[in-house]
Structure 1
Amino acid sequence: MENELWNKLRINPNGLPQGELEVIPSFEYTRVAHKKIKAYKASASLTEKDGISSYSITYPELDRTLTINFSTAFPHTIESWTDEFKSGYGANAKMLISRATKIRRIKTPYWQQNGNKDIILRDSLGI
């Protein structure tokens, strides 16, 4: 399952599946794209450059590619990701790209700082 790959990436990225495989896409994607929840043929690869590793999963049948960029060194923090997919039907279909990039990171005791009085912490994260 694609959803589980995010956790595997953080624990042991060298153990991620590579090559040709079957993957159940993320539930978020299948719901928004109105796709059947099933395993789709995919191709996965893991590359590294300048201390950043990239894990890519391409689903040919879905016209979709997910790429997750993370620090090669432990604790393998996720730095950014892109999700490229076709949206629409026929001649009106367009390739769309969703991107996310880590702006900042703070280490705080989250479970003690998640009330309304702590909302100022969101500003320090740039969200």
Structure 2
Amino acid sequence: MKSQSIVFLLVIIFIVSCSKPQRADIDFEQWGKYWFQGKAEISTFDLTQYRYGEAREGEAVLIFVTEDFSRKKQVKLDDPEASSSDKISVLKMNQTRDFVTGIYPYHMMMSAFTPTKEQSQGLKFTASSQEWCGHTFTQLNLKSTDSYNGKIFSYFEKEGDDTFSFNGMAEDDLWNLIRIDPKQIPTGSVQMLPSLFHQRFTHQEFKTEEAFIRVLDLSTGRSQMEVAYASGSRVLKIDFEKEFPYEIMGWEEIQTKSDGTKEITKATRKGLKIVDYWTKNKVGDEFLRKELNLKN
């Protein structure tokens, strides 16, 4: 009997030691009614994107949806029910930007995968950029609490195909933290890797910088998250609704050049729809793009 009690105690200790810390002070019953309904939230934006020193008019889209993710492989699970021990729920954000520079277009996409209930930084981030010169692809994977390994595949000789690593937080994680709950945003001084889109435009080295994060009240119903890098060269501002589900209404990215001039990339929301878009792939479904106010 005594030996059985010891075995039972050891099992309990093992279970507790293996359990992951959970996000606190979130009403996941309310949260799940919105995010676990088997649909995605799609929001569209008018975009003013600075590139090559000039403002370019374009479009941006944010797609937020929950998925069952593989802890080990850090990819979407094909059969979640058969992978219970490997399964983790994530909120995925896909962000696209489309604009034209002179004669040729840019098509950019970034994805962020952040655990919904577990207290963890984003597990994976990817970004791709296609334009007539060529294309590039970057991927970050979380290896421990705040340690990431990265890979870049690029047509630029200086970048080539390379690997890198860093300790800190990825700026691109902040979009999902707003949507999970703004209280999850770490405020104050943070060691942060600037956005993968920002790296594409600047071709800067993949390394963290000190950044200061704060959340401001803009009005009765709206808040703003501001990320200001200590170097003074970059500020990100994301406007969102104060009440759940904390819809993102727009953003600004302010890049200060070495001569003091500022380039302001700005996005303003123009449409929103909750829809299982992966089933809307017929010609007859194209009217949904008009409902989202998409131009192309």
Gaps of 5+ in 1: none
Corresponding residue for 2:183?
14
What value does the CA root-mean-square deviation take over the aligned residues?
1.7
2:213 equivalent among 44, 48, 70: 44
Q: Which amino acid aligns with 1:15?
A: Q
Other structure's SS at 1:104 match:
strand
1:64 equivalent among 222, 234, 251: 234
Corresponding residue for 1:119?
286
1:79 equivalent among 243, 249, 261: 249
Q: Which deviates more, 107-116 or 51-60?
A: 107-116
Q: Is residue 108 from structure 1 mapped to residue 275 from structure 2 by the alignment?
A: yes
Aligned partners of 1:5 and 1:115: how far apart in 2?
34
Gaps of 5+ in 2: 1-169
Taking only the aligned residue pairs, the percentage that are identical comes to 29
Aligned partners of 1:70 and 1:36: how far apart in 2?
30
Structure 1 residue 126 displacement after superposition:
1.3
Structure 1 residue 114 displacement after superposition:
3.4
TM-score (structure 2 length as normaliser)? 0.40
Number of equivalent positions: 124
Q: Is residue 98 from structure 1 mapped to residue 268 from structure 2 by the alignment?
A: no
Structure 1 residue 43 displacement after superposition:
0.9
Structure 1 residue 60 displacement after superposition:
3.0
Aligned partners of 1:50 and 1:103: how far apart in 2?
21
Give the structure with the larger helix fraction: 1
Other structure's SS at 2:238 match:
strand
C-alpha distance after superposition, 1:74-109 (max 9, x if no partner):
11111111111135xx54x63111111111212233
Q: Which deviates more, 68-77 or 117-126?
A: 117-126
Q: Which amino acid aligns with 2:280?
A: Q
The change in CA–CA distance for 1:38 and 1:50 in structure 2 (over 3 A counts) is: same
Aligned partners of 1:24 and 1:109: how far apart in 2?
32
Structure 1 residue 115 displacement after superposition:
4.2
